Structure formats: structure tokens, C-alpha cells
Amino acid sequence: MKTLGIIANTKKSRAADVVGKIASKARALGMPLIAERDTAALSGDVEEVSREALLDRADVIAALGGDGTMLRASRVLDGRDTPVMGVNIGSLGFLTSIAEDGLDHALESLAVGDIDLRHWAVAEAVVLSGGKEVGYYRALNDVVVRAGSSRVVTLDLAVDGDHVTSYVCDGLIVSTPAGSTGYSLAAGGPILAPKVEAFVISLICPHTLSSRPLVVPDKSEILITVGDSGGALLLTADGQVGQSLEQGDCIKICRSKQDVRFLLIPGHSYFSVLREKLYWRGSARLQPGWEPLAPAGGGG
């Protein structure tokens, strides 16, 4: 029987109840459960293990929370191919495919191997200062370079050694398909379907009306060079880890050779998630009860 590792956002009010539900169903299925200390403390049926043992023994990781917990689970895996099962006890939950009321079905499907896997691309970012590597990050969602104050920055962009342009802006986002529904979307970037092999480069408040998001193949090497910053800059990966940057620093971004694998229950639809989470309703004339507005003015 597969061993299920659990990574939970223990600050969520529903975390203990959901871990208890998983423990009850897993016990009936004969499925061992393991977790690190804080999560294991939520249920006596979960074996407490170290981070190393969790990664070595778990056949599947259940991430309980929202998208932030999924990003944390991806970072914990650090390139391992252990699949992640996202259980949404958060708010938005683009990446968490299983609702709390679908837990029993999900665990039953996992027990018999009736599951699908989706591969999400991961971006790798290497920070260079004076030609030396001073930072390395993996990002499932995005790599963001932004000003640490209200000052604007100058960022030079090149793709595969070909100079694109220099931007005066508040920052720049390099997003994967998974991250294209996050910060990049809020900055005006497009949504990339999961199988699209590309990065989106979006600007944060560019000081020109002509700048638009740029989509490049994920086989490309993206190079960002920090120009005139006028103050502190910050690089973040998935909004969770990062470092400060100085003028002249470079960030090389490319696709990692190790994707993250998400476990899905058969029948899961990416586009139904978009409709639900983004409140897509289609054209107004297709909605029940729609009537055209009466023409302005009166008639006699």
C-alpha cells in the first residue's frame, strides 16, 4: 500500500479536521500516514518523521491548504518526482484540485491506482554578482524582480543572448504556466494552459504604454540585468524565498529538468477550474433572464 506523506498549513482552522478525515479513511484502506512534527500533532494516526524520512518514504505528498501550501510542498520536494495531491482548505486554490468533500473518493482512487498525473514546468533562477553565483532558486509559479521601495528600476532583458529592451518599471515577472493565473495575470499577462511549453514575461507598472507581456519558449534562457535601481531590489521565487539584488547583478532563468507532478482524479478539468475560480460566466446574452436594454429616449 502506498505511504501518504502530509504537508499541512497548520494555521488553517480546518487543518485538524481534514487531517482527521484523511486519517480515518486511510486507516480503513490500510494506508500508512507520515508527516513532520507540526502536522503529525494534528492526529494520533499520523506517524511523526523527519523531513528526510518524509521525502524518502512518501509515495505521494498530500498538501493541505491553498496554493501557498502547494508551492511550499513543491519547494520541499526540491526536484524529487514524488507526486503531490492538493487538498483545498484555503480560499482560491488554483493548484489544489481536490475539495474537502472529495477526499474519500480521492484516497480510494489513490489506493487502487486510478489517478492521473499532470506535469507542471518549474523555472530555475541563478543569481550572478560579479560573475559569481550567489543564489539559486526553483519556482513553480514565478520569479519576480521588483523594487523594494517606491522608486522605479531599470531592468535589461535578453532572451537567448538576443537583447530585447531595457525597461523602466516597478519590476518584472517571469511566470510558468502554473503561475500564469497568479501575479502575472494581475499584471496583465495571459493565461497559459498546462501543456503550453512557455514562459510569460510581464512587467509591473512599466513607465510606457507600449510595453506588453512577452511569451517565450521555455527552452529559452532569460537574462535580466539590474540597471539603475535607485535603492534596494528584491528577487523572490514563488513569493516565499529570495534575496536582495544590487546594480549590475544578473538573473538567469531557464526551465528545470525536473518538473513537479500533481496528482489528479480522473475527470478533473482545468478549464472548469478557471470558470469557477475566475467567475467566468460567458456573454451576458447567454445568461438566464437576460434582456436587451430598452433604447434611450421616449416614443409617442
Q: What residues are labeled active site?
A: 67
- Got the DSSP string for 66-77? SHHHHHHHHHHH
What SS3 state is found at 267?
coil
Look at the chain and count its residues.
300
Distance CA 237, CA 122 (A): 11
Report residue 254 as a C-alpha cell.
531557464
DSSP state of 296: S
The closest of 225, 220, 172, 214 to 192, measured between CA atoms, is: 214
- Got the DSSP string for 79-124? T----EEEEE-SSS-SS--EEGGGHHHHHHHHHHT--EEEEE--EE
Distance CA 7, CA 55 (A): 11
Q: Which residues contact 142 (CB under 8 A, 6 or more apart)?
A: 123, 173, 174, 175, 176, 179, 182, 183, 184, 237, 238, 239
